[in-house]
Structure formats: C-alpha cells, structure tokens
A and B are shown apart, each in its own frame.
Chain A
C-alpha cells in the first residue's frame, strides 16, 4: 500500500509537472502551426514576459499601489511589452524570411533568442526577482488510506487548470473568431490565404502576440515556482520533447505530450534512476520522445507527413 501511495504521488506529480512544460510548449505549437517557424525563442519570451511583469510589479508596489491593481497593471504592461516584441520580431526578423526553409527560420529564431535574452536583461536586470502570485503549499490527499498521504502541489494543480483554460480559450479563438479562422487558413496554405485577401503580416503578428501572451501566462506560473531569472530560458529545452511527442502542429497534443513526458520522466527518475545513478530525467524525456517518433514520425497528434516527388 505504501508503495502504491508513493507510485501515485510520483505519477500525479509527474503529470502536473508535465502540464507546466506544456504551458511553454503551447507557444511553440501556435507559431509552428501558423507560420512553419520552429520558434526556439519561446524560452526567452517567457523570460522577457516574466521580467516585465515582476519589475513592473515591484515598481508599482514600492509606490504604494494596492496589490490587485498593481497585478492588473503589471500584467497589462507585460502584455504590451509582448505585443511590441511580437511586432518587432514579425516586422524585422521573420517577415523578411518568408518562404525560406525550416532550418533557416529555426536559426533565425535562435538569433532572436540572443537579442531577447540580451535586451530583457539589459532593460530589466539580470538578478533574480521573486514573484509570488499563487500559493505554493501542498495538499496531502487520502491521508487515511496512505501513510503520509499523497502529496499534491497547489501551484502545479493551478498550473494545470490554467493550461486547461488556455487550451480551451485557444480552441475557441481558433474556432469562432474571424481572426482565428483566418489563422487556420494561413496555417493550411499561406499563399492561398493571401490570395483570398487575408492580411498575412497581420495574422503573423497576431500569432506572435498570442504566443507572447502564452509566454506571459507561463511566466506567472514558472516565475512563482523559480523566481524570475535567466535560467527560465532553459525551459525551452524541457518543452521540446513535449512538443515532438505531441506533434508540432497540435494544441491538445502539447497537453497530452506534457502529461506523457512529465509522468514518464518522473517515474523513470524515481524507479529507474536509483539503479543507474540518478539524474536521468533530462535525457529520458528525449529518449521517450525519440521512441515515440520511431513509431509515429510526426508525433502522436501531428499532421501526417505526406511526401511526393
């Protein structure tokens, strides 16, 4: 019974941790879906959004503003920063690179990553800034059944809820708004979409903006977890296996991929790790993703790759 309780604890913890990765992976998916750009800068965008938010909050709170209005204003400020960033990226980096091959676009986003990492630290500082928006305590469930109960972190649950709301919101946005439909049209075939009068530059700006806002949401959760600091950019590397398991083009795939990766890596660390020395979760996630890809080269929910001569 104890063993089962421990297993459940690791499993639940892993699933929830995975959803937090999904928050970052979602940004990748949105941009890849709409423009075929593999956006490595997502991690840097989380850093920028987090720094903008936390620095604005610090400033406002130190000027005796009540917490709630400070949070609202801070979020608005960070959103504005992300909007400007989205416009700059679209206008100066990726707009001129339309129709280049995927590798070039990928490299361009790494260039953007450098710029964002430099600029965000220059504007907002390179120290560590604590952010406390959500509770970080834990619940202990089923304490009667299992000794010590099953530990569930409140922040992780909240992160999961936020991710769920975000996915539902994005689905609704894609399904029912005019911009959302235009976005799907661009994703299918941007030349065709342009020919029926969809303003493609605007659509791409919207995509980068939405990805920026997703980054902001991710930053609130991860910033509370870690404190806002440069290391947050490494999240991009934790999100990549999530992304390839789910498929580059699937929003629900990012969530499912997150669940799989999270549970897989935590279980591996807890049950396989002690035998081979521990610290394996980092590569285990990638190996898991590799194994899935061997079965389905487009990821679990990605669009089927059709090759013609």
Chain B
C-alpha cells in the first residue's frame, strides 16, 4: 500500500534535489510565503510584490547585501495554515544556509510557525500582525513583531478617538463597537479594548463576522440600532469592503469608522466606490505613495522589467511589503557586521534582528524617510516601535490625517508580560534573562 506513496514521495524529493543546483554557494536564501490566489489574494498580491521587488532592488542596486546576493523562492499558501506549514517545511532548508527568516502574512500560519521556529532556529518576522504578546523577546526569542501589534493598534485607535472627541475624559460612556473577523486575527485586540474600556470608561462591544464575511446585514442593522459613537473594523479581505458597503447602506457615517492597518488599503475601499469616502484607517506608520526608495525601484527594477508589480506599485500593501523586506535585509546586514559578509544561518540572523537599530539617518539613507519612524529591537523588546498614524480615504486616494501617536505602554506592557509568562509556563519555556545582554 505504500508503493504508490513511496513512488510519489521519491518523485517529490527527486524534484527538489533537481532544484538544488540552482542555488549557488555565496547567496543568501530567503523564502516568501505568499498568497496570490484564493479568497485573500487581493490583499496578498500587493504585499508579496513589494517583498519581492525590494529584494530585487537590493540585488540590482547594491549587488546584494554587502555583496551577498539574495535568492528567494515563493510558495503559495492560499492563507491556509496547513499549506503554510508545508511551504515552510519545503523552503526552510534551501540555500547554503537555509532560510534566513520567514514572514507568512497570516495570523494562523504565524501561530503554527511560532511552535516550529525555535526548533529550526529561523526567525519569524511579522510586521504588524501575529501574537501581540510575542513582543516579549525573553519568551518569544524567535518572533519579531516589528512596528506594531494589535494591542498597540487598539490603543492608538482609542487615542485618536479621544483626540477627535477633544480629550480622554470625553471617552466616558461613549460607545465603541469592534466589528471583527471571527478568528484569532480578529479576536486579538479584544483584551486590549476591554482593558482600555475599563480604563477610560467607554462602553466596548464586539460584533463578530464569520469568515469570510460576505454577509453582514444583521451585524450592521444591530449597529444602526445601537448607534455606537465609533466603529473599529478588524477585517481582512472581502470582509473590509463589505463592511464599508453595509455601513453606507445603514447610513453609518464612514468617518466614524476606523480600520486597523490591515483594513486600510486600496482593495478594501475600491469595491465600495464613492461609499468609502471618509473611511479612516490606522497606518502601520507608512502611507501609500512614492518616496525616495520608489525612485530607486523605478530606476533599477521597474525600468529593467524586473518588477513583479502591476498597477499596485506604491499602494499601501505594496509599500508594507517593501518595509517588511527592508527590515529583514537590514537585520541580515547587522548580523553580517558580527559574522562576516557571507550567507548567514537563521540563528545568526536572529542575532541581527535582535541588534537591529534603524535610526532616522539610516532610514533616510535607505530611502524610507517619511514612511517609517526609527525602529530598534532589543533582547526584551521584539516590537521595536509603537507609533502609528491614521489616514483617510477621500474617494480617490489615502490622505494622512494625523500625527504619530505612541501607544500607552504603561497600560499594555503588563498585559504583554502576563500573557507571555502564561505561554512560557504552558510550554515549559524558561524566559531568557535580558538584563545582561547588550
């Protein structure tokens, strides 16, 4: 009974060994877990394009990271956890040193890989998604939730609401409703919002939307009856645009809706047409549009026909892909400072992540000035930054409407500590001592 299976299995391996010679010795291998098809493809494509284009740019403009060329291979996950795990297993051992780091762009796959990366010694870079408590580097040594977690997002959204209302004291007895994707992704901000509700005295209510979120009539009718002062939107894919359309249908003002940074890109608003005008969303620091790095991209990548992007060039999620790759590349560069200019292992790159310090000058050099604020990982802090701002869709483009807010760490840090400690206890992890590490 195993004959067929073994025949197929050996064919699989035959295939993958055939592929091996394509990778030369002096190259850094980076895997890309992408979803360019399936229900979340409209959001997955621009991000994957940004990720790939930045790596191409590094190769074309600089000849690699300090001369070490990047080779990458994409693997289609269709946002499914088991496919993501298969892709990870397929790609983790490729190249001379194995996968440098992984970025799955899916909360579900992130959760599954969180269990696997410590064993394989590969860092997991999740820019603005994944476990909020993975900020605690003493427990989650291999996770890097760069730039923001859902808890900081929730806090910043509330700060913006307070500013619009004219002060934190005005939040008292205001109704804030969270419309969320009914999955770990959508549920992640709930503890933070409950905490904030208690702290500021606003009334929090959660309204779940079942995956994939095609039908939200009853949710929005209940919002129409409930008349909350603000609606926070925590959706992904088709759910975002449907929410905006339904909000328009029940006459809920779009400028009272604030989406998380995964609900604030072009594919989320365009299906709603003019109904989306006024809708606000958090930014993972960066806006849509062209910056210095885009000029380089146009010069070295697009004009040479090496870009994979089409009309999504410089869109929100494309830019986020660029930033994701940039953080990874800079981490490798940092690690090269210690281990030498050669392909590095995941373990060495983890050191690079942990000592990554993107100063304002460095960000300017890289052409990302105006897109992001400085970012610094430490042994304890694997998030590196807690700022975000907001932008608003005017019917044609995203317009930045706020300054940077900084998340209220006094409130959130104990929660991170507590859940991370619980995770450590459940999994039998002894937290690292970060006090003596530089």
- A interface residues with partner B (beta carbon < 8 Å): 6, 9-10, 13-14, 17, 121, 126-130, 132, 136-138, 140, 148, 151, 153, 155, 225-227, 229-232, 234-235, 238, 265-266, 269-270, 273-274, 277-279, 281-282
Contact = CB atoms under 8 A, between A and B. Distances in A.
A240 to B, nearest CB: 14
A270 B222 contact: yes
Contact of A279 (B209, B225, B251, B273): B209
B221 to A, nearest CB: 6
Interface in B175-190: 182
A136 B273 CA distance: 10
Contacts of B237: 231
Contacts of A282: 210
Given A281-B218, A282-B210, A231 B273 contact: no
B267 A128 contact: yes
B38 interface: yes
Nearest to B227: A148
A60 B275 CA distance: 24
> Which are the 5 A-B pairs with shortest beta-carbon distances?
A227-B271, A269-B218, A279-B208, A231-B238, A128-B42
B222 A281 contact: no
Consensus secondary structure, chain B interface: helix
Contacts of A278: 206-208, 219
Nearest to A270: B218
B45 interface: yes
Contacts, number: 117
B221 A136 contact: no
Interface of B: 36-39, 41-42, 45, 182, 206-210, 212-215, 217-219, 221-222, 224-225, 237-238, 241-242, 245, 248-251, 267, 270-273, 275
A227 B39 contact: no
A229 B42 contact: yes
Nearest to B270: A130
Contacts of A136: 245, 248-249, 275
Contacts of B250: 138, 151
B218 A127 contact: no
23 contacts: A13-B217, A127-B41, A127-B42, A128-B241, A130-B273, A136-B245, A151-B224, A151-B250, A155-B249, A225-B245, A230-B38, A231-B39, A231-B237, A269-B222, A270-B222, A273-B218, A274-B222, A278-B206, A278-B207, A279-B209, A279-B210, A281-B218, A282-B210
Contacts of B245: 136, 225-226
Contacts of A129: 271
Contact of A14 (B42, B207, B217, B249): B217
A280 B65 CA distance: 51
